[in-house]
Amino acid sequence: MRRLTRWLLLGVLLLGAAGAATLFYVTSLDDPYRGWSGDEVFVEIPAGAGPRTIERRLIEAGVVKDAFTFRAALWLSGRARELQAGEYHFDRPLGATQVIEVIASGQVHKRLLTLREGLTIAEMAQVFEERGFGTAAAFIAAASDPSLIRNLDPGAPDLEGYLFPETYALPRQTPASDLVKLMVAHFEAAFDEPLRSAARDQGLTTRDVVTLASLVEKETGQPHERPLVAAVYRNRLKLGMGMQADPTVIFALQKAGSYDGNLSRDDLQFDSPYNTYRYPGLPPGPIAAPGRSALEATLRPADVKHLYFVSRNDGSHVFADTLEEHNRNVLVKE
CATH superfamily of 26-104: Endolytic murein transglycosylase (3.30.1490.480)
pLDDT band for position 213 (50/70/90)? very high
Interval 111-139 mean pLDDT: 96
Residue 77 clears pLDDT 80, i.e. is over it: yes
Cβ(199)–Cβ(208) below 8 Å: yes
Residue 84 clears pLDDT 60, i.e. is over it: yes
pLDDT band for position 4 (50/70/90)? very low
Q: What confidence score (pLDDT) does residue 330 get?
A: 83
- Of the listed ranges 5-19, 143-157, 173-187, the one predicted with least confidence: 5-19
pLDDT band for position 149 (50/70/90)? very high
Residue 120 clears pLDDT 90, i.e. is over it: yes
Residue 68 clears pLDDT 50, i.e. is over it: yes
Q: pLDDT of 269-305, one tens digit each?
A: 999 999 999 999 999 999 999 999 999 999 999 999 9
Interval 116-120 mean pLDDT: 97
Residue 11 clears pLDDT 60, i.e. is over it: no
- Of the listed ranges 28-32, 156-160, 232-236, 251-255, the one predicted with least confidence: 28-32
Q: State percent of the chain over pLDDT 70.
A: 91
Domain ranges within the chain, ordered by starting residue: 26-104, 110-190, 193-333
Q: What confidence score (pLDDT) does residue 181 get?
A: 98
Q: pTM of the entire structure?
A: 0.80
3-state secondary structure the chain: CHHHHHHHHHHHHHHHHHHHHHHHHHHHCCCCECCCCCCCEEEEECCCCCHHHHHHHHHHHCCCCCHHHHHHHHHHHCCHHHCCCEEEEECCCECHHHHHHHHHCCCCCEEEEEECCCCCHHHHHHHHHHCCCCCHHHHHHHCCCHHHHCCCCCCCCCCCCCCCCEEEEEECCCCHHHHHHHHHHHHHHHCCHHHHHHHHHCCCCHHHHHHHHHHHHHHCCCHHHHHHHHHHHHHHHHHCCCCCCHHHHHHHHHHCCCCCCCCCCHHHHCCCCCCCCCCCCCCCCCCCCCCHHHHHHHHCCCCCCCCEEEECCCCCEEEECCHHHHHHHHHHHC
Q: What confidence score (pLDDT) does residue 30 get?
A: 84
Q: What confidence score (pLDDT) does residue 314 get?
A: 84
What value does the mean pLDDT of the chain take? 90
pLDDT band for position 185 (50/70/90)? very high
Q: What confidence score (pLDDT) does residue 165 get?
A: 98
Residue 16 clears pLDDT 50, i.e. is over it: no
Interval 234-246 mean pLDDT: 95
Q: What confidence score (pLDDT) does residue 313 get?
A: 83
Q: What confidence score (pLDDT) does residue 219 get?
A: 95
Interval 155-180 mean pLDDT: 94
